[in-house]
């Protein structure tokens, strides 16, 4: 909203400083500042409000060290994160940008599902919360909306590189673009595509439509379907992974901030034609606005960590965890970097796998040997280390270190072929 106001003031009245809103870097910096301010200043007020309303966490007795001390800690603090993301996004982004529209949809939709889950747990006194099938249904709907929109919306396109320099035309590009040797390496004509970035391969591109090429000549007609199914799977997996990771003070929040920072870098280079050329990755027009969104996301997570770090004054609840997982997954998909998720979101993935493996191994051994056996002392994985005697702050800090290592490695993969 402020973006449109200041651009109008700049064009019509030449107000000093108003032109700064043209620059994505300036608006991204403002987004971080505003999101940090909202989460840190208004977070305390919301925590006090939740306490007055007795919106406290009900803790199951799992025999973990320090567990009972968390009983009654305010939950649904994810509202702080959601507010700190949405306010700067509405203020500083181009609201007609399809990428921003999809990110706002994901934030609100999955935040609403998480809110319903927390509401049932807290106010209806039902520890199970929203039934799992309804959570999955909500995540599937989000995946369908994102997948179908990406495939059919004319504003979501890529610009591919020409294979040979001699074939590079210059018609259709601006004077600024012609001044750069990088520009003419990309087609001036945007195109729809189901291609994405795949790490470690020389060409580093993979087309999802190839997965159904065995169907014969008409397989292209169904590429939207396979693409949408992949999107659904990724959003569901990462959203649930973030939800499972939210079991220790600050763990999900800090990990998400690290992941968000990395995604911001990936979005920046993918939307900048010079960096896209240098790194030999596909150029994604109009994705620059996503840098502002992810800046607000990182600021909101860091600001929330002020109250969520050990010992936590508030928990984000499913209101926050389902939303941040969905935001990370959707963002990675939009910038065509979702195949980097197993590396970048390695903590979420491992937490998810630890639960799946634990459950299925227990069922298998119960059938095979007559009694259930476990791979881990407890799942998700962070509770396994708690059972081994590690203190909660040490586990969280070491997970952060691993998260930073994974983030650095993710960025390096852009050059490892």
What are the boundaries of each domain within the chain? 26-158+193-353+396-412
Residue 186 forms beta bridges with which residues? Answer: 161
Is the predicted pLDDT of residue 178 greater than 50, yes or no? no
pLDDT digits (tens, 9 = 90+) for 137-162: 999 999 999 999 999 999 999 988 77
Residue 158 forms beta bridges with which residues? Answer: 191
pLDDT: which is higher, 362 or 63: 362
Is the predicted pLDDT of residue 321 greater than 70, yes or no? yes
- The DSSP symbol for 65 reads T
Query: Three-state SS across 307-368?
Result: HHCCCCCCCCHHHHHHHHHHHHHHHHHHCCCHHHHHHHCHHHHHHHHHHHHHHHHHHHHHHH
Is the pTM value of this prediction over 0.75?
Answer: yes
Q: How many CB atoms lie within 10 A of CB 200?
A: 9
Is the predicted pLDDT of residue 412 greater than 50, yes or no? yes
Is the predicted pLDDT of residue 175 greater than 70, yes or no? no
Q: How far apart are CA 274 and CA 177, in angstroms?
A: 10
Look at residue 291 and give its three-state secondary structure.
Answer: helix
């Amino acid at each position: 909203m402020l973006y449109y106001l200041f651009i109008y003031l700049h064009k019509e009245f030449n107000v000093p400083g108003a032109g700064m809103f043209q620059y994505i870097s300036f608006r991204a910096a403002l987004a971080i500042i505003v999101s940090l301010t909202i989460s840190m200043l208004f977070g305390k007020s919301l925590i006090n409000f939740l306490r007055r309303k007795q919106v406290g966490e009900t803790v199951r007795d799992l025999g973990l060290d320090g567990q009972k001390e968390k009983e009654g800690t305010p939950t649904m603090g994810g509202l702080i994160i959601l507010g700190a993301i949405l306010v700067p996004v509405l203020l500083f982004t181009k609201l007609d940008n399809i990428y921003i529209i999809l990110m706002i949809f994901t934030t609100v939709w999955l935040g609403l599902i998480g809110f319903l889950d927390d509401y049932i747990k807290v106010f209806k006194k039902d520890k199970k919360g929203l039934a799992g099938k309804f959570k999955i249904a909500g995540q599937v709907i989000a995946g369908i909306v994102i997948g179908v929109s990406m495939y059919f919306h004319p504003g979501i396109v890529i610009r591919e590189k020409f294979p040979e320099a001699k074939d590079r035309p210059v018609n259709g590009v601006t004077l600024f673009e012609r001044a750069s040797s990088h520009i003419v390496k990309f087609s001036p004509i945007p195109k729809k595509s189901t291609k994405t970035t795949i790490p470690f391969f020389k060409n580093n591109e993979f087309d999802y439509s190839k997965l159904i090429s065995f169907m014969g000549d008409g397989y292209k007609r169904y590429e939207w379907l396979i693409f949408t199914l992949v999107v659904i799977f990724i959003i569901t997996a990462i959203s649930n992974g973030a939800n499972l990771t939210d079991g220790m003070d600050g763990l999900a929040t800090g990990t998400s901030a690290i992941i968000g920072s990395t995604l911001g870098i990936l979005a920046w280079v993918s939307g900048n034609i010079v960096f896209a050329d240098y790194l030999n990755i596909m150029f994604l027009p109009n994705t620059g606005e996503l840098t502002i969104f992810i800046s607000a996301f990182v600021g909101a997570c860091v600001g929330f960590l002020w109250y969520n770090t050990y010992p936590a004054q508030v928990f984000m609840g499913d209101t926050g965890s389902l939303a941040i997982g969905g935001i990370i997954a959707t963002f990675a998909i939009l910038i065509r970097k979702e195949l980097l998720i197993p590396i970048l979101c390695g903590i979420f993935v491992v937490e998810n796998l630890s639960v799946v493996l634990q459950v299925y191994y227990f069922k298998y051994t119960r059938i095979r040997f007559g009694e259930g056996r476990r791979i881990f002392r407890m799942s998700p994985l962070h509770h396994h280390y708690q059972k081994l005697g590690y203190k909660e702050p040490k586990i969280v800090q070491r997970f952060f270190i691993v998260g930073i290592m994974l983030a650095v490695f993710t960025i390096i993969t852009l050059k490892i072929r």
